[in-house]
Structure 1
Amino acid sequence: MTATVSDAPAAQPVPVLRGYHFELVKLTSQWRIRLLVLACWIAPAVFVAAVSLQSSLPVDTLFGRWMNATGWAGSLVMLGFAGSYALPLLTSVVAGDVFAAEDRLGTWRHLLVAVRSPQRIFTAKALTALTVILVLVAGMALSSAVGGILAVSGGRLVGLDGHLLAPADAAGKVALAWVCVLAPTLALAAIGLLGSVALGRSPMGLLLPAVVALVMGLAQMLPLPVAVRLALPTYAFIAWNGLFTAPAQLGPLLISVAIGLVWAVAATALAYLVFRRRDFTNLTDDGSARRALTLGALPLAGLLAVTVGAVAVSVPAAGSGIGQDKLQRSVATAFAHLYRLQTTQLNRPDVTEDQLGATAACTKGDGLVAPEGPGNEWRCVVSWHLPGIEATGTAIYQLDVTPDGRFVADGDGPKEVNGYFQVHTPTGDTPNPLWQFDGNVELLPTTTKG
């Protein structure tokens, strides 16, 4: 019997796994992706090792002053750089181009005929972009850690409140910090998918994640209310700092990670909605600015408003979150821990934090300005006692407090304590831990009384 057209079996869509393999091979065959993979797996190790062996360290960078003491500090310096610059650019190159490349090449119709399922095409491309981004982030994390350990070993790390982290504890927290920044990275990648689908061949689609990260980075430099700051999807690029205090400041970190993941899911869903509405039979339809506005920018703006409202209702914090009491506690705690470290360096009798009883009295603008909020007009006088000595020790610090709660305390005397960048030890000169130190003020309310 002769088979008719109606008797022919219907063509089945290509399985997602095969489509994913095809997209992964296609993406990784591009020279710029291969170059990025090599750079992320090699350059961080070379950079961290080279800087760690220098006498001049990037002390203005978080953990930069400890790069010649432990390799874990170098990985955290690289993490700070990655969150500000590298990861937004990587998401732009990978996710921002994964759909737009088909528009430039005019291959949408061929791909649809081959795969026979728009849903599976979208899934395969999204998974491919995710895979490559994860490989790039893993390369940066592992490479920077290995470079630092090979250069200066994986010794103890000084936390943001001055306490020492054992090598195993430091390794775990460094790894956790890199995992936490995956949330904002995925959010930017999802925004890249949305821009790639909605704007097609427009260069703006490729640059969208980097532009969004730049705008939000500039916003983080402003004295925003705590609710707005925590609601930004990229805040986890900063909030990982809270892992390196004792106890860990997990509140801002957990909120920022959750919001980053919400943005990742929402932006991916919007990208899929826009993708389903594309007319792939029309070669001139490679994206619409109107569609990008109505199905992209406006929903995400609404999501930002919702998350700001949710954080404001659920978190009992107002203003900048930086107050006099919290700053004084942070400075006193860090000073006490670092004083013990200096005592060990000078081979003096050990003391405990309780024996020191360190306290800090901080003012802003010589008392002429309300003692709250960020700024470089903060001045703190730290007082402490040594066992068996009646006199009270004092040290002066000038503080520069940033809007995200990080501060740098610059010693202003006496010289024997914090007035010089080195101390004379029995084994030679070594960096003075009390000369300058970094600290972190938790923006959310704490239960500790000070």
Structure 2
Amino acid sequence: MTALTLDEPRRTEPVALRRGYRFEMVKLVSQWRLRVVLLACLLAPAIYTAVVSRQTTLPADAVYGRLMNQSGWAGSLTILVFMGTLALPLLTSVVAGDIFAAEDRLGTWRHLLIAVRSPRRIFWAKTLAALTATLVLLAALALSSVVGGVLSVGAHPLPGLDGHQLSSAALARTIALAWLSVVPPTLAFSAVGLLGSVALGRSPLGLLMPVAVALVLEGVQLLPIPVALRMALPINAFLSYRGLTTEPAQLSALWIGIAVSLAWTALATFLAYRIFTRRDFTNIAFDGNASRFALVGLAPLVALAVVSTGVIAAATGAVGNGVERVKLESALSTSFSHLYVLQTERLGRPVVTEGELHATAACDKGGERVEDAGPGADWRCVVTWTLPGATAEGNAIYQLDVLPDGRFTADGDGPKEVNGFFQVRTPTGDAPNPLWQFDGLVDLLAEAKGQE
């Protein structure tokens, strides 16, 4: 008799990660919604900077907004202001917030699991695809914002947020680093999008999770909260690039923002991975569990913010909201000195340096009955300086609007020949008066030296 032999069951290997990643990228690129978003990222910033920089009315509320008609580099920095508040979290919602939820809406999880044969590789393939698409959209925004402004106005120098003049080459480096600095917080909100997409399935809340978290954190940022808590939130990392425009650069907030953002990215991604690999894929009507998501998803992120606040407070010694009279006076006098030198050059007057001016500032907030600390639009400052060889002192009055994040806007209030008018008469014609209105930056983490 002939012996019958049975073939051993053949072992099926999971699909390689690179093939899964390529498949996910093809699915993303084939979506008309993502194509429209990419086209908008390539065109909208360029059109906005090119058109607005030619207008007489400029977005003065944004950092560098009032300088958009003076240099094309200002347009990119102005666009960057709007990106961190809502645009970048919205982009992460479109990509990361939908990449898992789309399978729930279409009911294709079973087909994908049979094809790939590994939930873990499905997760990482989708995560890497979402990361790639997000970075491409971010690069498109950066390139478009620079090209539109530079082609429209030109690559002219600009003052930094401490008033010192930045050359075109220095601005190019600064803007490149500024856009790179928003990559970590963008990744943090992308990871939050992954977490919402995995945990809440077809629920619209999962898709909009990055936007919802950004709105909550933005609302917290508008309050005069302790500076350690402010630095512990990833939304603040979208603003830390401003320290690159000062001399010396204010890098403490930048490094803290990068570390906090990476911590949020790692934790949110880990939580999404754990929820995904433990999910029951037999339930085709999965819509998530909001209460469970709050416990296993949002609660760990809140705990991370609390721990980060304590670590930052212990490491930096930062107390209060960081806006103090002495630091504000130092920042204002520094900016005034740099901009006074720039005004002198434009007027063709004898050369003077910042050190020769010996500029000082005396600030008061809201009168004698109000403590001289904290943000507000009721700061009034008097800047005093002395020109070389002169015995009389010069005085200039400024009304300051100081925001909780350390940015302030100084509005000149006389004398007219110094800061009381928006233009100065130069040998080549009227030119913008650099001392009339300008933005400055208080280092919230700096130690207030010499405070009485």
Task: Give the letter for the 1:172 counterpart.
Answer: R
2:295 match: 294
Aligned mates of 1:181, 1:68 — CA distance in 2: 25
Pick closer, same or farther for the CA change 1:27–1:3 going to 2, 3 Å: farther
Task: Give the letter for the 1:252 counterpart.
Answer: A
Deviations 1:316-372 (A, max 9, x none): 111011111110010000001001111111111110011111110111112321111
Q: 1:236-247, aligned counterparts within 5 Å?
A: 236-247=237-248
Pick closer, same or farther for the CA change 1:379–1:107 going to 2, 3 Å: same
1:349 match: 350
Is residue 202 of structure 2 the alignment partner of residue 196 of structure 1?
no
Deviations 1:253-278 (A, max 9, x none): 11011101100010000000000111
Q: Could you say what secondary structure the match of 2:327 adopts?
A: helix
Q: Could you say what secondary structure the match of 1:234 adopts?
A: helix
Q: Could you say what secondary structure the match of 1:407 adopts?
A: strand
Is residue 177 of structure 2 the alignment partner of residue 176 of structure 1?
yes
- Do the aligned partners of 2:424 and 2:433 also contact (CA within 8 Å) in 1? yes
Task: Give the letter for the 2:328 counterpart.
Answer: L
Is residue 265 of structure 2 the alignment partner of residue 267 of structure 1?
no
Is residue 10 of structure 2 the alignment partner of residue 9 of structure 1?
yes
- Do the aligned partners of 2:324 and 2:372 also contact (CA within 8 Å) in 1? yes
- Do the aligned partners of 2:326 and 2:449 also contact (CA within 8 Å) in 1? no
The runs of 4+ residues in structure 1 deviating greater than 4 Å are 447-450
Pick closer, same or farther for the CA change 1:125–1:402 going to 2, 3 Å: same
Shift of 1:42: 1.4
Aligned mates of 1:374, 1:317 — CA distance in 2: 16
Task: Give the letter for the 2:151 counterpart.
Answer: L
Aligned mates of 1:426, 1:293 — CA distance in 2: 65
Q: Could you say what secondary structure the match of 1:279 adopts?
A: coil
1:81 match: 82
Aligned mates of 1:306, 1:396 — CA distance in 2: 43
Percent identity reads 59
Q: 1:9-408, aligned counterparts within 5 Å?
A: 9-408=10-409
Deviates more, 1:7-16 or 1:108-117: 7-16
Task: Give the letter for the 1:374 counterpart.
Answer: P
Deviations 1:421-449 (A, max 9, x none): 11111111111111001000000124866
Q: Scaled by the length of structure 1, what TM-score is found?
A: 0.97
Q: Could you say what secondary structure the match of 2:439 adopts?
A: strand
Task: Give the letter for the 1:326 counterpart.
Answer: K
Shift of 1:285: 3.1
Shift of 1:376: 0.9
Is residue 442 of structure 2 the alignment partner of residue 441 of structure 1?
yes
Shift of 1:79: 0.4
Deviations 1:367-421 (A, max 9, x none): 3211111111111000111112211110000000000110000000000111111
Shift of 1:3: 6.2
Q: Could you say what secondary structure the match of 2:388 adopts?
A: coil
- Do the aligned partners of 2:202 and 2:286 also contact (CA within 8 Å) in 1? no
Return 5+ residue gaps in structure 1 as ranges: none
Aligned mates of 1:290, 1:108 — CA distance in 2: 24
Return 5+ residue gaps in structure 2 as ranges: none
Deviations 1:139-192 (A, max 9, x none): 010110111111111121210000011111111111111111111111110000
- Do the aligned partners of 2:327 and 2:448 also contact (CA within 8 Å) in 1? no
Aligned mates of 1:42, 1:407 — CA distance in 2: 31
Aligned mates of 1:24, 1:367 — CA distance in 2: 62
Task: Give the letter for the 1:188 counterpart.
Answer: F
Task: Give the letter for the 1:204 counterpart.
Answer: L
- Do the aligned partners of 2:365 and 2:372 also contact (CA within 8 Å) in 1? yes
Q: Could you say what secondary structure the match of 1:175 adopts?
A: helix
Pick closer, same or farther for the CA change 1:389–1:33 going to 2, 3 Å: same
What count of residue pairs does the alignment treat as equivalent? 449
Aligned mates of 2:404, 2:448 — CA distance in 1: 21
Aligned mates of 1:163, 1:347 — CA distance in 2: 18
Aligned mates of 2:389, 2:230 — CA distance in 1: 47
Aligned mates of 1:149, 1:276 — CA distance in 2: 48
Aligned mates of 2:56, 2:284 — CA distance in 1: 59
Aligned mates of 2:62, 2:345 — CA distance in 1: 25
Pick closer, same or farther for the CA change 1:55–1:290 going to 2, 3 Å: closer
Aligned mates of 1:291, 1:4 — CA distance in 2: 48
- Do the aligned partners of 2:396 and 2:415 also contact (CA within 8 Å) in 1? yes
Shift of 1:227: 0.9
